[in-house]
Homo-oligomer: A and B are copies of this chain.
Amino acid sequence: MSPAQARQRFRGGARVPTAGWCRGWTQANLIAVPKSLRYDLLLFAHHNPRACPVLDVGEPGTWSTALFTGDLRTDLPGYRLYRDGAAVADLGEVVGEWREDLVPFLIGCSFTFERALLAAGVPVRHLEQGTNVPMYRTSVPCEAAGRLSGPLVVSMRPVPARLVRTAVQVSGRYPMVHGSPVHIGEPTVIGIRDLASPDFGDPVEVRDGEVPLFWACGVTPQAAIMASGVEYAIGHLPGHMAIMDVRDDDYRVP
């Protein structure tokens, strides 16, 4: 399925996590903030490049970018609306909510290297289960920028111990979409108490002999929106990504 076809499905009402969709095409996190906050967000992304790699930025009030030619207001399968730092609604489209001063940022997503993980023989549990990837707020603070601060958010994939090295190497070849894991092993070290209760997405089974690997996650800006009490913002519903018009391989380094 092409990105345009997938976006048409989402525009038509399909509301599903996008892991595994349009294999080979890059997926991205959306965060749209008022123009008055766009500098702080861009600086926050600069200060926290592992979590917030900026793939593209739109002009105020617009809903497409060079690398996403669809309609950012309708072509994702789910949205989350924030007011005064609180998530106030999950929506299927946000045409009425897309204020004229909103500036959309598209942030890299670790789904981008999942095809490469599979090709290297590393299983991806949430794809096997057909669920959303589990994501967690950590106790690791991001570097603040202006009004924005908040915790690092991570995604988790359990990997058989003998394949941890491979998973590190393969994901490390995609530095613009979170790169190698930020943490490997014991979840409590980064403040995660219970793997079975993710803050976003769905839990996945961790089998005997598997190690949890944690990657920086592009939901981190949404956690900062909440922690910083931002007056208005629109994000994607975690795991329900923007499917871009660029290929995963465009973000691979040699």
Contacts and interface: CB of A to CB of B under 8 A. Distances in A.
Interface string A38-56: 1100110010000000100
A57 interface: yes
Contacts of A43: 42, 57
A57 B43 CA distance: 9
Which of the four size classes fits the interface of chain A?
A: under 10
Nearest to A143: B66
Contacts of A39: 38-39, 42
> For chain A, what secondary structure do more than half of its interface residues adopt (helix, strand, loop), or is it mixed?
helix
Contacts of A57: 43, 46
Contact of A54 (B38, B46, B54): B46
Contacts of A38: 39
Interface in A82-111: none
Contacts of A54: 46
Interface in A56-97: 57
**Residue of A39, A54, A57 with most chain B CB atoms under a 10 A cut-off:** A39
A19 to B, nearest CB: 27
A39 B46 CA distance: 12
A116 B38 CA distance: 38
Nearest to A66: B143
A42 B105 CA distance: 14
Contacts of A42: 39, 42-43, 46
A38 to B, nearest CB: 6
Nearest to A146: B59
A39 B37 CA distance: 10
Interface in A8-43: 38-39, 42-43
Nearest to A59: B146
Interface in A178-218: none
Given A38-B39, A42-B46, A46-B46, 7 more contacts: A39-B39, A39-B42, A42-B42, A42-B43, A43-B57, A46-B54, A46-B57
Interface of A: 38-39, 42-43, 46, 54, 57
10 contacts: A38-B39, A39-B39, A39-B42, A42-B42, A42-B43, A42-B46, A43-B57, A46-B46, A46-B54, A46-B57
